[in-house]
Amino acid sequence: MIPSLGSHALKALTPQTAVTVDCSRCVRHRCKRNECRKCLDICPVGAITWEVHGLQVSSNLCTRCLRCMAVCPTAALQSPELSLLQAVVDLAAHPEPVLGCQLQSDTEAHARFPCLGTLANSESMLLFALIFVEGIQINLICCQDCPRGHILEGVHTAHARLAEFMPDHKVKLVSEQKNLKYQLASLSRRELFGFFRERSKRSTMVMVERLQVNSRIQSYGSKQVPLVRTMLLKAMETRSETQQQWICGQLFGQVSFTTDCTICGGCVGVCPTGAIGPEEDKSPPVFDRNLCVGCDTCQAFCRKQGVQLAGSSQKHATSLALSYKRPWSDPLY
């Protein structure tokens, strides 16, 4: 009994690493020619470094802001404390859900992330908008005075961009207590079942059920698609084809193959998500944009410059906006 108590006490006193590194997903580990520095550059305290043995996270320096997770395209950085699907399920049980921060445990929230810095990502923000079409509140009231307050810039940027993909979204960033609408789970059993029946007719509970069935990360051998992308693809099915194409064109990567492609298959092997697959009859590889996270590994790997990764140009985005003047008026379900 005593050794058991001692081990628990030692574990409690030992600093826990906020994020873990999956080297098989890290594009810099997969391809030395890929000099990705997204997580290193975003960390405000220098807790992430590239050492002889690869990517390292210092538990002594890390402040658990999770900004590194928000910028990592392949989800190579993970937080053991964060359960995205569980948070979605907990939030869905409330008419006006509030998402908060674990560090600010005295603030009002129905579910909490280790830090809201993980929302400084357009795909994550859009995912919440598609799931909670009836509204969700992000409690940022204490973030301004928090040591991790630097996350606010990224969260506000992702939220501002959300209007491009879903102008009718109801994701609300709350920075003042007077604007927060928080309700405890005080519904009677009869009221609660009535709430679920009404909600299941249209949005959140249907979406949560769909995501629970299909939220397992897609696996392609050693290749994996980030959970946020997997859930986002399922959530996007509730939108029209036009809207889906718009979102893909703005958020997902686009790979093309030049005449210099030797069809060696190297890009197929190095792609961390399976977005590039082999083709028969000595043709260039096939490309699935839904799986592409724009990590640039394929382009960095190809010495013949046979692969090109291109983002949507501003001109292209503008022409789409003019062509699809009212793409968001389609019924959601």
Distance between first and last Cα of the chain: 56
Domains and CATH numbers, the chain: 15-78 (3.30.70.20), 84-213 (3.40.50), 239-323 (3.30.70.20)
52-68 pLDDT, tens digit each: 989 999 989 999 999 99
Query: What is the SS3 assignment for 55?
Result: strand
Query: What is the SS3 assignment for 112?
Result: strand
Confidence of residue 274 (pLDDT cuts 50, 70, 90): very high
pLDDT reading at 124 higher than 90 = yes
Q: Which residues have C-beta within 8 Å of that of residue 151, sequence separation ≥ 6? A: 65, 66, 67, 115, 116, 117, 120, 143
**Continuous segment of H or E residues that includes residue 163:** helix 151-165
Q: Which residues have C-beta within 8 Å of that of residue 320, sequence separation ≥ 6? A: 246, 249
- Do 66 and 124 meet the contact criterion of CB atoms below 8 Å apart? no
Q: Which residues have C-beta within 8 Å of that of residue 36, sequence separation ≥ 6? A: 27, 28, 295, 296
What is the number of residues in the chain?
Answer: 333
Query: What is the SS3 assignment for 7?
Result: helix
Which whole number is the average pLDDT over 147-155? 95
Query: Which amino acid type is present at position 2?
Result: I
Q: Which of 120, 29, 32, 19 is nearest to 71 (CA)?
A: 120
Confidence of residue 314 (pLDDT cuts 50, 70, 90): very low
- Do 114 and 81 meet the contact criterion of CB atoms below 8 Å apart? yes
222-244 pLDDT, tens digit each: 688 999 999 999 999 888 899 89
Higher pLDDT, 221 or 243: 243
Q: Indicate the average pLDDT of the chain.
A: 82
Greatest Cα pair distance in the chain:
71
- Cα–Cα distance measured from residue 189 to residue 42, given in angstroms and rounded to the nearest whole number: 46
* pTM metric for this prediction: 0.81
